[in-house]
Amino acid sequence: MARPPDPKKRQELARRAVEVLQKEGIDVSMSRLAEALEVKRPTLLYHFPSRARIAEAALEELLLEQASFVMERVNEHAHPIDRLHAQMRAIHEFHEGHEDRLLFLTQAIAVSGSDRLEEIVDIGNRVFEARRRATRDLLREGMARGVVGECDPDALIALVRAVTDGLVVQRVMTTVDLGAVHTLFWERVLRPLKLGEW
């Protein structure tokens, strides 16, 4: 009976394989991929029966790493407005210089005909949905306390998310100065909603 795959070895293999796929193209053969990774083809296929499965494993790991990184930064703040700003900055910091990795992984899964893209996105949404609900509750509490300006919490959260995600995609194609955008967004959108300390 075959032993189960080692999760750490599998994730490391996926990480390295994605680097090769990004350089050589998503259509690279599994034999060539195994050669580039310096493993035998059966070993690669044991862990990943297809290139789509490699991208799926790498994307799942990336989303979990991002969630952990972002929550650590967000939890440094108590005020819900500061937390929203920290979230935006942390997501951009996490992906800085590697924005193409996220875009590549989602595209690789989509073009490979994987039936799991929706499931993976749903996993990410569930992770972030709990945080969105908590943020919405904090914003409502802040409004009740008089330390957050009146606003539609769901609309504000959606706006922050749209700007955050849009800038990640834009950074793949341009050299937009994220610091300038963060400053403008803070000064014109978020800071006016911060009426007092938490």
Q: Which CATH architecture has domain 52-193?
A: Orthogonal Bundle (1.10)
| pTM score, whole prediction | 0.84
Domain 1-49 maps to which CATH number in 1.10.3470, 1.20.1280, 1.10.10, 1.10.287? Answer: 1.10.10
Give the per-residue pLDDT at 4: 63
- More confident: 173 or 90: 90
Q: How far is CA 147 from CA 74, 116, 132, 168, 194, in A?
A: 18, 43, 19, 30, 6
Indicate the angle between helix axes 80-95 and 99-111, nearest 10 degrees.
Answer: 80
Asked if 59 and 106 touch (Cβ cutoff 8 Å), the reply is yes
pLDDT in tens, 72-87: 999 999 999 999 999 9
pLDDT in tens, 104-119: 887 887 776 656 667 7
128: helix, strand or coil:
helix
pLDDT in tens, 21-68: 999 988 899 999 999 999 999 999 999 998 888 988 888 888 888 889
| Domain chopping of the chain, boundaries | 1-49, 52-193
**In the beta sheet, which residues pair with residue 194?**
148
169: helix, strand or coil:
helix
- The values of phi and psi at residue 148, to 5°, are -125, 130
